[in-house]
Amino acid sequence: MYHLFKSIYLHATSKEEYSVLLLGLDNAGKTTLLEQIKGTYTPSHPNLKTVPTVGQNVATIALPPPNPPIYLKIWDVGGQHSLRGLWQSYYSSCHAIVFVIDSSDVGNATLADMSAKNAASIEDIGRLDECKLVLESVLANEDASGVPILILANKQDREDCVEVVRIKEGFVRRVFEGEKGGNVRDSRVLPCSALTGTGVQEAVEWLCSRMAFNKEARPPVMRYHFYSNPTNWIRSAPNEKHVSTNSWNNIAWSDHTSPQLMGSYFATSRSAMQPSNTPTFSLTSRPKMKGILMRSS
């Protein structure tokens, strides 16, 4: 009976979780964008100074009302040239891709320079043209086929930025109308400033609507959440950091959470609700007493 009620409760309180992949060249503002999203939808989140990402940053955000009752799991992956080979390992499990462009650093070179003899390395290619090559490599991957693509022209607060119309006409159209853009079914180009927050909420709203529209092709992960009694610890999903707190905790589990771990949590929650001097009761499997309700000291 306990397991039945637990299953019903978990099903009733489960939420959809969508994974969003933040990609782009180094110094495009991906980490700042992630921190701005966390600050927008989690008011208690502190303002942190960002540093270049080496590897990945990940955050799971529960969207508050009146937004859709879903979780966003956002993966910020390093954009250095040496790290871009790791991107492909994320494509198959993501529900949307956000490609961030530094609209204040587009460079002066053209794609023709790449074939010239004086273009000996990738540093000789303009940044906007490098973005084009990198985005085309993303779209060429079969695992990214059919995923909604959002192009964010970041740093629109800068005086030296390129207008989003120019980026859309000179960059995005060249990519999406090219041979490697045939796998894109849903895309949009939006201006934003990750530093000031301008355009961030509009970007998140577009992502939520398009991922929900595409849920048959890329079903979301069902994430279970419930509230624990006041303790000095929080048990979170696997691979997520434990957070120390003394308030009522929002506990979140993904569908990858093992039944043993969930059972351990429920057992701990029931015992923690008892006063410290009150004996607890549990089912034991002692010899000759299997299945009997026993009193433990």
Is 27 annotated among the ligand-binding residues? yes
Is 155 annotated among the ligand-binding residues? yes
Is 56 annotated among the ligand-binding residues? no
Residue 256 tokens read as 């990858």
Is 257 annotated among the ligand-binding residues? no
Helix (H) or strand (E) holding 281: strand 281-283
Is 239 annotated among the ligand-binding residues? no
Please list, in sequence order, all residues whose beta carbon lies within 8 angstroms of the beta carbon of residue 12, skipping any fewer than 6 positions away: none
Residue 178 tokens read as 């090219």
What is the maximal distance between C-alpha atoms in the chain? 85
Is 31 annotated among the ligand-binding residues? yes
Contact 229, 271 (CB under 8 A): no
Is 197 annotated among the ligand-binding residues? no
Please list, in sequence order, all residues whose beta carbon lies within 8 angstroms of the beta carbon of residue 189, skipping any fewer than 6 positions away: 151, 153, 164, 167, 168, 172
Is 212 annotated among the ligand-binding residues? no
Is 30 annotated among the ligand-binding residues? yes
Is 28 annotated among the ligand-binding residues? yes
CB-side exposure of 34: number of CA atoms within 13 Å?
Answer: 28
Give me the helices (H) in 100-254, please.
111-115, 127-139, 164-167, 173-176, 200-213
Is 25 annotated among the ligand-binding residues? yes
Is 154 annotated among the ligand-binding residues? yes
Q: How far apart are CA 144 and CA 7, in angstroms?
A: 34
Prior bond of 66 cis (ω within 30°): yes
| Beta bridge partner(s), residue 20 | 74, 96
Known binding-site positions for Mg(2+): 31, 53
Q: Which residues are annotated as a binding site for GTP?
A: 24-31, 79, 154-157
User: Binding site: residue ranges?
Assistant: 24-31, 53, 79, 154-157
